[in-house]
Structures are given as C-alpha cells and as structure tokens.
Amino acid sequence: MKILMIKFIWLSAAIFIILALVVPDNLKAEDTYRFSMMPQFYPERIARMTEPLVKYLEKGCSRKITPVMTMNNSDYEASIRKGDVEIAYQNPMIYNSISDVHEAVVVGVSPDGGDKYRGLVIVPSNSPVTALSELKGKTVMIVGKNTGGGYFSPKISLLDAGVDIEKDVELVTAADNKQENVIIAVSLGDVDAGFIRESAFHAADAFIKPDSVRILAPCAWLPGWALSVKRSLPQTEKTRIKNLLINLPSDSPVIKALDLKGFREADDSVYAPLKKLLIQPDTKPVKKN
C-alpha cells in the first residue's frame, strides 16, 4: 500500500510538472519571469501555496510569471544556477549556495517564529525514546543535507545534547527530499526518528495512521526563507518586487497561502553564519521495499 501510494503521488506530480513547464508559443522570453519554490513538498501542494503569489507578481510586474517545478533540491539549485529562474523562494542553506547568482530581497515572516523557523525531531508514537541524547546509535531520516528544518536545525540541537549526527547516528535521506516521506517512514517504523520542518508536521496526515508520530523535541531557530531574484535584474525591478511583497497585509491571500505572517526586507548578513555548515555530500537514500 505504501509503495502504491507513493507511486500515485509521483504520477500526479509528474503530470503537474509537465503542465507547469508548458509556455505558450506566442509568449516572448523577455516578457516573462520564471518563478520557482524549493520543492520541500509535492508539486500539487507547492502549486496551491504559490499560485496567489504568482498572480500577484504578474499584476505588479506587468509581465507573465511562469512556474518552474523541480523534483528535488539538487534540481532546484541547478535550475537557478543555469539561469532558468528569475524569482526564487528557498531556505537559508540553499540561498547561501546560490547567493552569487541570486540576491535576497525579502524574508518570510512565519506566524510562530517571526523571521525565523526551526525543525522538529519526530519519533513513532510508541517509541521508547524520550530525549535527544537517546538517539545515539539510532537510524534517523533527514529531508536532505541542504535543508534547514529537515537537517541543520536538529543537527544544532543534537550537538547541544551531546550527539554528533554525522558520527553517532545512522542517517538516511528521504526520497526526493520530501518532508512527507520522512513522516511516513517514521509512522511506519522504518526509522527510529526523523527531522522535519515544524510547519510540515501535518503534511502527511492523509497518508499515515492518526497519532502514529509524536514530536520528540523542537529544535534550533534558523533565519527565515529568502525570496531572491537574479542579481542581473535591473535594480528598478528588484526594488519593485521587494516593495510589492513587504507591503502585503497579513490577511492577503498570498500570505495566507504561504502560511506566513508577511515579508520583511532581507539582510544578507543573517545568512552568512550558516556558510560554514554547507556543502556536505548527501547521505544514502532510504531503500524502497
């Protein structure tokens, strides 16, 4: 059942991506901005989250905004580096990696953490584990080593608890860097624990047994997600996009769809301390039965 469910989700995802990348023949490239959001969820959910933003930017920028969907974080970063994306929305780790070609203009303000966010460590509800220090020797699934809530935030908290996750636990990576896949694996008992973003805790509710996972601990705060634009864009366009977003009220459909409180002007200096933690190879993917 688990395999069939995942295959069904990906079939829908593949269809959505094909449709998202179709651009009308009569649309000139110079009249279009391409937008992409880091694929922490499946494409259908990302589409629901970003559709109001795309429409709002289309109107404010007076040009077509075309969604660009990617399957995983590596593909997402590669598409930005190839110049295929003018406007992007991603976590602070990926932003640091692409900051030579993209410039952050605003940062998302979450309802619960201001302009910061954090990860969670989750375990099966019947797990005997009650503290982070007890994860030594356990198998833990992460979203990916370039994710914030799904790796870096818990990594920092476990270090504070005396656990070096690179040495003291067995790490496996979720298929295609999806938060839902971590939750499903923990729910089924395929792993002892999982790292996810706090806001993703209910992302897999439709696919798991109710109350089959619990939160072991909330983790360290990280700088918020950055909405960035190509550094090569004219300054007038960068300023236009920034002003469009920081002036959005908290009850805007754009803000609500993204599960935010609003946007604030970005400050690159808050992302710099994370650079020393970046550029690490991903762990082995979890085996599919």
Predicted pLDDT of residue 114? 76
Cα–Cα dist 228/101, whole Å: 10
Confidence (pLDDT) at 113: 59
Give me the tens of pLDDT residue by residue for the chain, a chain 289 residues long.
443 344 434 444 444 444 444 434 444 446 899 999 999 888 999 999 999 999 999 999 999 999 999 999 999 999 999 999 999 999 998 999 999 999 999 999 988 657 888 999 999 999 999 999 999 999 999 999 988 999 999 999 999 999 999 999 999 999 999 999 999 999 999 999 999 999 899 999 999 999 999 999 999 999 899 999 999 999 999 999 999 999 999 999 999 999 999 999 998 888 877 766 654 444 455 544 4
Instruction: Provide the pLDDT for residue 268.
Output: 84
Give the pLDDT of residue 204: 96
Other C-beta atoms lying within 10 Å of the C-beta of residue 78: 13
Q: Is 201 helix (H, G, I), strand (E, B) or coil?
A: coil
- Nearest by Cα to 130 from 221, 215, 200: 215
Q: How far apart are CA 150 and CA 147, in angstroms?
A: 5
CATH topology of domain 33-111+224-270: D-Maltodextrin-Binding Protein; domain 2 (3.40.190)
Structure tokens that stand for 106 in this block: 């605003």
Tokens of 8: 């069904």
Say what the pLDDT of residue 278 is.
59
Give the β-pairing of 193-197 and 139-142: parallel
User: Is 116-222 the same fold as 33-111+224-270?
Assistant: yes
Closest residue by Cα to residue 224 from 201, 197, 195, 194? 197
* pLDDT tens digits, 138-178: 999 999 998 899 999 999 999 999 999 999 999 999 999 99
The CA dihedral of 16, 229, 117, 141, to the nearest 10 degrees, is: 50
- Please state which of the four CATH numbers 3.40.190.10, 3.40.47.10, 2.40.50.140, 3.40.50.1470 is assigned to the domain occupying 116-222: 3.40.190.10
Whether 193 contacts 172, CB under 8 Å: no
Q: Are 108 and 246 in contact (CB under 8 A)?
A: no
Q: Kindly list the distances between the CA atom of residue 76 and the CA atoms of 185, 200, 214, in Å, as whole numbers in the listed order.
A: 24, 19, 30
Domain locations along the chain? 33-111+224-270, 116-222
272's CB contacts (< 8 A; 6+ apart) are: 96
pLDDT on residue 19? 42
